[in-house]
Amino acid sequence: MNILKPLNFVRTRIMERLTKNVGKSYSNTKIDLKHKVDIKKILISRPNHKLGNQLLLTPLIQELIITFPDCKIDLFVKGGVAYPVFENYEQIDKIIQLPRKPFNHLINYGMCWFSIRSKRYDLVINGDKNSSSGRLSTKFAKAPFKIFGEVDEEIQQIHTDYEHISKYPIYNLRYYLTKLSFKENNKKVPTLNIKLSDSEIEKGREILNNLVKNNNKTICIYTNATNDKCYSEDCWETLYSRLLKEYSNYNIIEMLPVENISKISFKAPNFYSKDIHEMGAIINNTSVFIAADNGIMHLASASLTPTVGFFKVTNQNIYEPYGNGSLALNTNDSSIDDWIRAINTILK
């Protein structure tokens, strides 16, 4: 038995209790508007290493860049895929990466916390209200304006999609900025975007063309996921057969995970890459991407491709793909006919 998993669970619960009130008093602090509010240096705290969670930050970053075009943004994240996710964002000034195993890297761990304390910011945002480290780092950083992540009741009443983990930080930001005398912003929330370059997209097109060797449009599936989010081979085999029948004039390809696993026994043309931008560029050249809720699903969404996400255990209101015609399906109360009808809304 792996004892680290239950220990980590206990640690997480203890930290949640200890930090649940961090920042609550700050939200009621009166803001002095005698001086002009000039926000140029921003820190976003999201200490998580998973691909999906870092991609889910990209709408907030875009919102900040639109609102403050001259700003520079630092990210406080956990070691993982931060650099490739954000490398095409010129406004990212610094990425501070906490070690994924802090007890093995105590010096680096301490230096990361020192780094956020040593710089003075104009605005600090906690990217996830449920993150204990996010709350602590937001409190620890030096800045006159801080957003800890609590969702105001007024926001919940106005926005039916406030639960979404990419959207509520933006709604919070907009609400907070009205307190700083900024004009109310009711525009659509930005979508996930990895900001693929034209050259990257062209390279992705070449790779896809070499794989399918025709000019037909392409459907891409990704059959892997973690733990309970994963669907059975029978489920994917059934869907794959139905896709072949319904969309005979389309190519159907499979993106493979690092484990080189296929739930359809490698029946479809397939590809694999360790390069996030290359993966996204290939997906960008397809007509629709179909996957269970996972980081690659968010990568497809961030590649600006219509994405169909399957949900059965996680809350789709929090993690569903949105924008570009994307949609989420709760597979607990829908059938394969419902799935095909949903895919038709994108393709036809």
274-333 pLDDT, tens digit each: 999 999 999 999 999 999 999 999 999 999 999 999 999 999 999 999 999 999 999 999
Domain boundaries defined on the chain: 37-179, 198-347
Q: Do domains 37-179 and 198-347 have the same CATH topology?
A: yes
Higher pLDDT, 183 or 108: 183
Fold of domain 37-179 = Rossmann fold (3.40.50)
- Confidence check: pLDDT of 21 > 70: no
The tokens of 289 are what? 């991407």
Residues 6+ apart with CB under 8 A from 266: 254
212-264 pLDDT, tens digit each: 999 999 999 999 999 999 999 999 999 999 999 999 999 999 999 999 999 99
Fold of domain 198-347 = Rossmann fold (3.40.50)
Q: What is the pTM of this model?
A: 0.90
What is the radius of gyration, based on Cα positions, of the chain? 21
Strand order through the sheet with 327-330: 270-271, 251-255, 218-222, 288-292, 307-311, 327-330
- Of 71-85, 193-207, 237-251, 323-337, which gets the smallest average pLDDT? 71-85
Strand order through the sheet with 145-147: 92-98, 72-78, 41-46, 123-126, 145-147
The confidence score (pLDDT) of residue 19 equals 52
pLDDT band of 23, cuts 50, 70, 90: low
The confidence score (pLDDT) of residue 24 equals 54
Element (H, E) at 62: helix 58-67
The confidence score (pLDDT) of residue 47 equals 92
